[in-house]
Structures are given as structure tokens and as C-alpha cells.
């Protein structure tokens, strides 16, 4: 079976080392504006890895990684 990436985006994630034993955590929409959320539907999606990294740096996130996701 051949699988193609239909929709690809880059997400800002809290590294696993910063959330041991907890589910993935993404930077995105939260009640206060933006922050960490475990709701994938609320995660900010970026077209490029560079764009996600720039946003993470611009808003001052200290510990994050940029991961590609496909739906």
C-alpha cells in the first residue's frame, strides 16, 4: 500500500525530555492567547520548519523542537 502525505505542517513541540511519561504537547491556541496544549487541533501549524522555529524564538519559548507532521 502506498501512502502519500496529503497535508504537511511543522509544529512546535515540547521535547520528550521535558515531559517524561506525558503525551505530546504543542505550542498553540490556549485560553490566554497562546501557550502549551495537548490538543493537536489547537496546535499552530507552519508551512516551513524555519517559520516554526522563528515563531518559537520570537515568542521566547526556551525549550522546544520543531517536528514535521502529516495528515
Tens of pLDDT along 21-58?
999 999 999 999 999 999 999 999 999 999 999 999 99
Give the whole-angstrom CA distance, residue 40 versus residue 45: 10
What does pTM read for this prediction? Answer: 0.87
The predicted pLDDT at position 27 comes to 98
Tens of pLDDT along 16-29?
999 999 999 999 99
Give the whole-angstrom CA distance, residue 29 versus residue 31: 7
Domain boundaries, the chain: 8-70
Amino acid at each position: 500500500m502506498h501512502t502519500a502525505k496529503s497535508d504537511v505542517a511543522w509544529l512546535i513541540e515540547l521535547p520528550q525530555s521535558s515531559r517524561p511519561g506525558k503525551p505530546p504537547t504543542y505550542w498553540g491556541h490556549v485560553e490566554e492567547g497562546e501557550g502549551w496544549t495537548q490538543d493537536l487541533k489547537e496546535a499552530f501549524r507552519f508551512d516551513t520548519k524555519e517559520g516554526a522555529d522563528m515563531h518559537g524564538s520570537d515568542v521566547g519559548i526556551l525549550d522546544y523542537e520543531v517536528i514535521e507532521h502529516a495528515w
